[in-house]
Every structure is written in C-alpha cells, then in structure tokens.
Amino acid sequence: MKKQSFKMPKKIKAAEARIKFGEVIDTARYAHNQYLVTKAGKPMVVILGIEDYKDMIDMIDTMAEQLDPKFQEELKTSRKEYEEKKVGTIEDIYKTLRRKEKYLA
C-alpha cells in the first residue's frame, strides 16, 4: 500500500457537480481530488477515486488490526522470539524451502 495523505475534500454544490460530473470523476480518479458534495449547504456525499477509496479501506483495516488485543499480543510474542533469536532469517526460510522442493521433486 502506498502512503496516501488524505486531505480535506473540495466542496462542490450538487448542481455544479451534476454539470461537471465527467470532470469531477476524472479529477477524482486521476488527480486524486476528493469532493464533498453539498445540497442546500449541507454535506451529502463524498466523491473520491477508486484507488483512494481502496487505500482508505486498507488503512482502516490496518488500524483495526493494530488495535486488536490479540494482534498486539502476537506482536509482543514475535518481538520476544526475535530478541531471543528463536526465529530464523529469510535465508533460513529459503534453505528450508529449497530442501522441501528437492524432497518433493
């Protein structure tokens, strides 16, 4: 996931958004503009490009995982195992995989 900084969306009236809809969706998709569509001065909907939406969902999922007590406990255990050298290196993993490939061949 690329680092995405979410900025405040640009306000646009619903009537203007309707007239400029093609431009709005193009700039949302390609220029990463985000729009807050208002009607009678009240916020109604947000328009953002699909990649920005996916990034936002990924970020929310990651934050939810990090707040999960089970995840925090697993992370603490992993750190402890790493510090106690109970885990191997990536090279160890590759060696194990190569041995298994030879065994299965």
Please state the domain extents for the chain: 7-50
CB 71 within 8 A of CB 65: yes
Query: What's residue 43's pLDDT?
Result: 97
Is the pLDDT confidence value at 1 over 50? no
Return the higher-pLDDT residue of 74 and 11: 11
Q: Is the dihedral of CA 97, 100, 104, 105 positive or negative?
A: positive
> How far is CA 32 from its chain centroid?
15
Between CA 67 and CA 73 the distance in angstroms is 11
Is the pLDDT confidence value at 99 over 80? yes
Architecture of domain 7-50: 3-Layer(aba) Sandwich (3.40)
